[in-house]
Amino acid sequence: METLITRFPPSPTGFLHIGGARTALFNWLYARKTGGRFILRFEDTDAERSTQQYVDAIVDALQWLGIDWDEGPFYQSRRLDVYEKYIQHLIDTGSAYYCTCSKEKIEAMRQQAAQSGGKPKYDGTCREKNLPPTPGAVVRFKSPLMGNTVVEDKIRGNIVFPNAELDDFIIRRSDGMPIYNLAVVVDDISMGVNTIIRGDDHISNTPKQILLYRALGAEVPDFGHVPMVLGPDKARLSKRHGAMSVTAYRDMGYYPEALLNYLVRLGWSHGDQEFFTREELIEKFDIEHIGRSAGVFNPEKLLALNAEHIRSTPVEKLAPHLIGFLGGHGIAAEDNAFLHGVIKTLQPRSKTFVEMAEAAVFYYSAPENYEEKGVKKFFKPEVAAPIRDLIAELKNTETFDEKHLEPAFVKVMEAHDLKFGKIAQPVRLALSGKTVSPGIFEMIEILGRDETIARLEKAAVFIRDQAEKQA
């Protein structure tokens, strides 16, 4: 079987957003799944709006997502001579022609068409004039006047376009730069791309491109148009929908695999399965189960999926991601057993790395003050004695794991006739400074004997001072 070659061709006129990432993902998965190749190509023929800054940002986002490419990145702006060759061929074979109609004239044509209810089209003034190249002339494709062009879409089936709907579209600007439809086709032909998965906003470009393939004597690739991603108001995604760039999700503490998982499920399914690892995605992805209807981006579901990924991903894989966010709290954490232990206790209670980092701070630095409502509720004078006893017990506990810790607590509880909660809450506050934290035993185990005792003693002093102040 022929090697499958897919590509992702962003235009560097903006950041990589959710929709673009999904398109890239589909192409990437399909290539990885079939052992094919995946190409990255920047379509920067619009010199006005393309910038290096966006190129870098897109590369950065793709790398973070773990979407890697086998070839490229290519830049259309550096392949002008290639397009020129193909354009010349089209002219030579009578499939394209020079046109000297002014922009104003074209605009007037459109206006008129709009008024009389027709489709805005170029009227073909220069079509049969056989004009020679002149400065400022554009090159137009000579589109068939009759017949149909059929797009055999892998996702939607056959889509028929009457050729009369198409006009003689420009393939080369007056400044010599090629136009999108020409450039993609030439690139895809010369790069051997045989499978194109893209947004369905490109459907109406497809017949034009098919015509170009034929005029160039090239084989038409497989097309598959995926539905668009909509905002909560069901409108096409745009800046006004808020955080839509991939890097925004990185900054908000999302795990790349979770984003991938969410994105792929927005438009593709594998029965009832919701959770996928990257490997599972590659193994199970198929083009047959890509849906046909547009999907609304749902940040809440993405958040929930992120939490699920955080919960079920091995701590070693999570650690490098968390370290950056810990840095934001002034903590220079090392990727060691301590960090891994910390993550373990935070996994079931963190939806993002931002949350996890925040919750992890107390492990690295003893609380400087205690949550106020906790102090009122749990640091009462009567807990001073049990805490003193607990400190003494902990000093004698041989191993610091739950199995040995619990008897120590039970002993203190019995001596003072307390329920577990009565001692656990003050201890929680003493260790973490907060009323909400991971389990008591797991915290103690990670903090270790010295640190635990130090924090308990500090709390005991605090409680005593507190009592004196009141007296």
Partner RNA sequence: GUCCCCAUCGUCUAGCCCGGUCCAGGACACCGGCCUUUCACGCCGGCGACAGGGGUUCAAAUCCCCUUGGGGACGCCA
Residue 36 or 178 with smaller CB distance to RNA: 178
Give yes or no for a contact between 142 and 177, defined as CB atoms under 8 angstroms apart: no
Nearer to RNA, 148 or 336 (CB): 148
Smallest distance, RNA to C-beta of residue 28, A:
18
User: Minimum CB separation from RNA for residue 150, in Å?
Assistant: 10
Q: How far is the CB of 469 from RNA (least distance, A)?
A: 26
Instruction: Confirm if 4 and 194 have CB atoms less than 8 A apart.
Output: yes
**Do β-strands 71-75 and 295-296 pair in parallel, antiparallel, or remain unpaired?**
unpaired
- The active-site residue, picked from 119, 129, 239, 317, is 239
- Give the H/E segment covering residue 441: helix 440-447
| CA-to-CA dists, residue 310 to 317, 318, 354, angstroms | 10, 7, 12
Question: How is residue 360 written in tokens?
Answer: 């992890």
CB of residue 332 vs RNA: minimum separation in angstroms? 26
* Nearer residue to RNA within complex by CB, 191 or 303: 303
39 alpha-carbon distance from chain centroid: 18
CB of 213 or CB of 467, closer to RNA: 213
Q: Which burial class, exposed, middle or buried, applies to 8 when counting CB atoms under 10 A from its CB (0-12, 13-18, 19+)?
A: buried
Q: Which is nearer to RNA, 321 or 445 (CB)?
A: 445
Instruction: Tell me the C-alpha distance between 55 and 53, whole Å.
Output: 5
Find out whether 152 and 158 touch, Cβ atoms under 8 Å: yes
> Considering the complex, what minimum distance in angstroms separates the CB of residue 54 from RNA?
12
CB of 385 to RNA, least distance (A): 19
Of 347 and 467, which CB lies nearer to RNA in the complex structure?
347
Question: What is the side-by-side order of every strand in the sheet holding 195-199?
Answer: 157-162, 148-153, 222-226, 195-199
- Minimum CB separation of residue 52 from RNA in Å reads 16
Residues across the chain: 471
Catalytic residue flag (residue 234): no
The smaller minimum CB distance to RNA, of residues 177 and 467, is found at: 177
The gap from C-alpha 10 to its chain's centroid, in whole angstroms, comes to 15
Distance of closest approach, residue 305 Cβ to RNA, in angstroms: 7
Select 205 or 277, whichever has its Cβ closest to RNA: 205
Burial 426-464 (b: 16+ CB within 10 A, else e): bbbbbbbbebebbebbbbbbbbeeeebbebbeebbebbe
User: What is the rounded radius of gyration, in angstroms, for the C-alpha atoms of the chain?
Assistant: 32
Nearest partner of 194 among 32, 35, 4, 9, judged by Cα: 4
DSSP codes joined into one string, 44-83 = ---TTT--HHHHHHHHHHHHHHT---SEEEEEGGG-HHHH
Amino acid at 62: L
Q: Which residues are within 8 A (CB) of 82 and not within 5 positions of it... i.e. 6 or more apart? A: 186, 190
Residues designated catalytic: 239
